[in-house]
Structure 1
Amino acid sequence: MIDLSSCFKPPSQNGIIKMNNEFLGGLTLKKWIWIVITIVIAASVGGYAYARHSQNEKLYNDSMQRASLQISNKNYIAAETSFTNALKRKPSDKKATRLLSQTQNYMAANDSFSDRDYNSAKDGYQSVVDTRNGNETLKDRSKGKLSTIKTIQGNLKKYNKIYNQALNETGEGNYTQSNSTLDKILSDQTAKQSYYKSILNKAKQLRSKNNASLSGNTTTTPSSSSSTNEFESSTSNSSTQNNPNVAPNSSDSLTSSEKKAANAYKGSNEFTVNPKKNRINGQQITESQVNSARKEISAAEVDSNAMSDQDIKNIIKGAHDNHETIGQYVKARYK
């Protein structure tokens, strides 16, 4: 008979150990392979996120530096755009928001100054100076403007006092004395600056009338009631002076039923809107900002004359909330 036991000889103890080691070694190798793959994937994802964050941070810093440079170069609109771009990289960033608001306040104050609205300009420049951790260049320039406004208003007060005295003398028929009084304005080199153009022209016109009366070419005597106090008009806060869209008070022309309906009106307009909706960073939107925004809206080829002050304030707030300039905001929504 054939002995089959030799064909089914069980493996030796050493053979079993060797097989187990090979099996376990295979498992260990696979485990390490997956660990390495996991590490590579994690590193790739982390590296991408870090690279994206670094790129975003770089673009933010570039925009902020560019804005600062534009302010130094007095390119305020470009600075406004750069701050807006920085906010696109870091929405709600306090520093960019603060500097953007400060820049816009300075621009609005400049517009008021150019319009000879010195009271609004003074308020605007003061808000720039009061900005905590704001741009120091804007603060220094605002301080200079505030000093200039103080000088201008002081001179306007002096010149108007002289003019009114001369006007009274003309009204009394003292034409020679009136001319002598007017010389205090006409011979003053400071009065020839552009800030005083209006009062200087009035002084020249009154002198011409005095000379005409002295030469006997006219019997018309200027009335003191024709005097217009330029200092008062330059420091007036009347909205009808600064906003061509505000109509004079017409309540006297309303019928009793119209007045009753007006009093019963419960809607929301620029007079009934919640004041909190007209605030940016806790500060009320000023008349100076409204006037400046109107110019930017018109420059964007949108009819600002068809908008109320509240419409303008809504645009200012909307542009701020969307991190856009006034021009960008209205072009996207009103054209």
Structure 2
Amino acid sequence: MKKWIWTIVVVVIVAIVGGVTFTSHHITQKAYTAAMTTGKKAVNKKNYSIAESSFQDALRHRTNDKQAQGYLTQTQNFVSAESAMSDHEFNAAKSDYMKVKNAKPALSTLSNRAKAALKVLKTVQLKAETFQGVYDQALTQNQGQSYEASNSTLDRIFKDAEAKEPYYTDIYNKAVELRSTNNKAINHDGDGTVDSSSSMPSASSDSSANSDSSAASHGITSGLTDSEKQAAKNYKGSNEFTVKKSQTEINGKAITAGQIASARKTLSSIGVSSGSFSDQDIRNGLIAANKAGVSFKSYAQKTFK
């Protein structure tokens, strides 16, 4: 009788443990499925913060689950791409959109959105480069005191219906500022000189700095007074008079005034005072970010904050 009793006890214990295990697994599975469903629905509605939280919740119920981790990473990359696009950091946006597009496992909704965004991005980048080229040409004409010709060149931006789209806000505002400077020069006593009370766009002075930088790299400072030459010689930091031409270029192309102005806005957007940096400091940061293969914003957040 005792053997039978112990056998029954063992069977009951096994049944209880098995039942508890089954119930626990069933509850976990149910919670995981619910979290994944919520995450997918949130993605469809573009509620990405909820989607991220849901996929993270799914991972808590099923650690190292490849599907939940894949969906989470894809969502995070998409959010990062959208943020970079809003900040006009087009190269960073492209990189993140490509990650979303090629993700495996993946949500088809996000993959399709990334594909569509990449098509838009390609057009935006081409247009932005075109506007920058027009602005640079107008700036050169301004510096040569061809103010009316500069305005005529700027009209190629102002007459473009897409110029006022958010993607091109920075370059459009610079074009407006340059046109204002041109008009003041044209109207000042009719002699074509700039009114001393007006100030040139920062881009103009920056471009001059690029020119001076090149001259300085060859030991030429003809545009400076004797005291300024001595100050440049004694300066131990990094400015346009103390660097080589290679330190003002990225991939063989001179860093433009527009790039410097944009970088300053990026610093301000992350809470860093851009006024504490010389133009050459900004160039050094842009060059370093390019070598590291990251956006200037990412580089600045790690280096200057």
Match of 1:331 in 2: none
d(CA) in 2 for partners of 1:70, 1:76: 6
Structure number with larger C-alpha Rg: 1
Secondary structure of the corresponding residue to residue 51 of structure 2: helix
What amino acid is the match of 1:210?
Answer: N
Match of 2:92 in 1: 120
Change (3 A) 1:230 1:192: farther
**Cα distance in 2 between the residues matched to 1:147 and 1:153:** 10
Aligned pair in 2 of structure 1 residues 67, 86: CA closer, same or farther (>3 Å)? same
Q: CA RMSD in A?
A: 3.6
Match of 2:107 among 131, 135, 139: 135
1:208 corresponds in structure 2 to: 180
Between the aligned partners of 2:270 and 2:182, the Cα distance in structure 1 is 36
The correspondence of residues 139-288 of structure 1 with structure 2, limited to 5 A, is: 139-216=111-188, 219-220=193-194, 224-227=204-207, 229=256, 232=259
1:86 aligns with 2:58: yes
Displacement of 1:209 in angstroms is 1.8
Superposed CA deviations along residues 176-206 of structure 1, whole A, max 9, x for unmatched, are: 2222111110111100101111111111122
Between the two proteins, the alignment pairs up a number of residues equal to 230
> 2:223 matched to which residue of 1?
none
Normalising by structure 1, what TM-score? 0.59
C-alpha contact (below 8 Å) 2:148/2:182 kept by paired residues: yes
Alignment-mate amino acid for residue 95 of structure 2: D
Q: Map residues 297-316 of structure 1 onto 2, 5 A cutoff.
A: none
Find the counterpart in structure 1 of residue 71 from structure 2.
Answer: 99
Q: Which residue of 1 aligns with 2:34?
A: 62
In structure 2, the partner of 1:277 is none
Specify whether residues 242 and 209 from structure 1 end up closer, same or farther in structure 2 by C-alpha distance, changes over 3 A only.
closer
Shift of 1:172: 2.5
**Counterpart Cα distance in 1 of 2:86 and 2:181:** 31
In structure 2, relative to structure 1, the CA distance for the partners of 1:156 and 1:108 (3 Å cut) is same
Aligned twin of 1:48? 20
Contact 1:156 1:231 (C-alpha < 8 Å) held by counterparts: no
Q: In percent, how many aligned pairs have the same letter? A: 35
CA distance in 1, matches of 2:204, 2:58: 57
Q: Is the 8 A contact 1:67 1:83 kept in 2?
A: yes
Are the counterparts in 2 of residues 87 and 93 from structure 1 also a CA contact under 8 Å?
yes
What are structure 2's unaligned runs of at least 5 residues?
208-254, 282-292
Q: Which residue identity is paired with 2:61?
A: R
1:109 alignment partner, SS class? helix
Corresponding residue SS for 2:162: helix
TM-score under structure 2 length normalisation: 0.64
Q: For 1:157, give the aligned amino acid.
A: E
Name the structure 2 match of 1:71: 43
Structure 1 residues 229 and 151, CA gap change in structure 2 (3 angstroms): farther
Contact 2:204 2:257 (8 Å CA) reproduced: no
Alpha-carbon distance, 1:243 to partner: 6.5
SS of structure 2 residue aligned to 1:190: coil
Contact kept? 1:125, 1:145, Cα under 8 Å:
yes
Do the aligned partners of 2:186 and 2:194 also contact (CA within 8 Å) in 1?
Answer: no
* Alpha carbons 1:119, 1:234 under 8 Å: kept: no
Residue identity opposite 1:68 in structure 2: K
Note the C-alpha offset of 1:85: 0.8
